Amino acid sequence: MAFEWIDDDAEVVRMGLTGLFSGEDLAAIQRGVVKAIAQHGRVRGLIILENFEGWSAGENWGDLTFQEQHDADIERIAFVGDEQWRDEMLAFMTAPFRAAEIRYFAPHELDRANAWLVG
């Protein structure tokens, strides 16, 4: 499993992605975010990509059910990772069509990403 739940406090849900991202990982993230929304109301997300290798083949990546049901509950999403994943991750997240503001930060900008999320 490439997904690791780091923490969720009242302001920001933090998670890490390593290796090859799977549908199982996506489902785990979605379950955690739904739980955080139930506990805190609207949430913000920090996703740290470390040694990320992309997406596994054969998954139903086009299912937008979660986005349709919970998009209004997510205020901001910050990705922190290697530049090589910027465009693909923003496309995967359908960034231009989300209610949440989504930004991508380089690994050395982790503090800046955290500050943007709580700002």
Written as tens digits, the pLDDT of the chain (119 aa) is 576 767 667 678 999 999 999 998 899 899 999 999 999 889 999 999 999 999 988 888 888 899 889 999 999 999 999 999 999 999 988 888 888 999 999 999 999 999 999 88
Q: Which two tokens stand for residue 55?
A: 């997406």
Instruction: Count Cα neighbours of 52 within 13 Å in the Cβ-side half-sphere.
Output: 25
What SS3 string covers 94-117? CHHHCCCEEEEECHHHHHHHHHHH
CA angle 74, 78, 79 (to 5 degrees): 130
Q: Which two tokens stand for residue 118?
A: 């709580």
CA angle 83, 97, 107 (to 5 degrees): 20
pTM: 0.91
Q: How far apart are CA 119 and CA 113, in angstroms?
A: 10
CATH architecture of 3-118: 3-Layer(aba) Sandwich (3.40)
